[in-house]
Amino acid sequence: MNKTIVSPSILSADFANFGQSISEIDASGAQWIHMDVMDGSFVPNLTFGPPLLRALRGKTKLFFDVHLMTVTPNRFVKEFAEAGADAITFHYEAEVHSQKYLTEIRSLGLKSGIAIAPASPCSVLEEVLPFIDIALVMTVNPGFGGQTLITECLEKVVKLAKMREKAGLNFRISVDGGINEQTALKAVKAGADTLVMGSAFFGINDKKGLVERLEN
């Protein structure tokens, strides 16, 4: 079983002060930072790209957990790797040749991840399970922070955990969207080991306490 980890999402950070947000994540004891890349096409919102990662890479040793919500995600794999990504997760819905690019991500020395939107069943991941380090189950429709978790999506976490066990694999199961202390407990119970957290993380003063409670 994988240890539970919190991956704070800088989508909910102060965009005028990313350096400060990085310091807050470092001080919280979290080891990952979730970076939501949105292209205004795959999702109805725009965020940032490799230049931001590169700028932040010099400031922290946090594990850069990059979540691409972009069409043709393969176009950017190398750029994000060079900018300092530690893991790249792209959407099943956005890439026909997912096995090829998951393999490419690993060959660059990074962890590979695939994400599914609420409308996609987890069965679509069956053939690529050996090629992933992270399965990201979106628990809201991607595009915006601060939404309410869609409870039904947690059933996919249960199913994925079973698929993982059956296959004898140990990829992480990450949940993303509407995760707070209450929903995190449900997600962990369902089988999630990686908790992406945006608004709930940046909305609490005692971030260290939050991370400790969730990771233990």
| Least Cβ distance, residue 37 to ligand DX5 (angstroms) | 9
Residue 88 makes CB contacts below 8 A (sequence gap 6+) with: 66, 68, 73, 77, 80, 81, 105, 110, 111, 112, 113
With H, G, I as helix, E, B as strand and everything else as coil, classify residue 34: strand
Q: Which is nearer to ligand DX5, 1 or 205 (CB)?
A: 205
Q: Which is nearer to Zn ion, 162 or 178 (CB)?
A: 178
Within residues 139-178, the interface with Zn ion by CB under 5 A covers 176
Beta-bridge mates of residue 136: 115, 174
| Least Cβ distance, residue 165 to Zn ion (angstroms) | 25
Instruction: State the CB neighbour count (10 A cutoff) for residue 203.
Output: 13
Active site residue 14: no
117, 124, 173, 125: which is closest to 150 by C-alpha?
117
Residue ranges in contact with ligand DX5 by CB under 6 A: 9, 11-12, 34, 36, 67, 140, 142-147, 176-179, 196-200
**Contact of 207 with 28, CB cutoff 8 Å:** yes
Catalytic residue among 36, 39, 133, 193: 36
Which of Zn ion, ligand DX5, none lies near 145, with the C-beta cut-off 5 to 8 A by kind?
ligand DX5
The amino acid at residue 36 is D
Active site residue 86: no
Catalytic residue among 39, 65, 133, 176: 176
Pattern 50-69, binding to Zn ion, x per CB under 5 A?
Answer: -----------------x--
| Least Cβ distance, residue 167 to ligand DX5 (angstroms) | 26
With H, G, I as helix, E, B as strand and everything else as coil, classify residue 93: helix
Residue ranges of alpha helices (H) inside the chain are 18-28, 50-57, 77-83, 98-107, 153-167, 181-190, 199-202, 207-215
| Least Cβ distance, residue 107 to Zn ion (angstroms) | 24
Which of Zn ion, ligand DX5, none lies near 184, with the C-beta cut-off 5 to 8 A by kind?
none
Residues contributing to the site for Zn ion (CB under 5 A): 36, 67, 176
Catalytic residue list: 36, 176
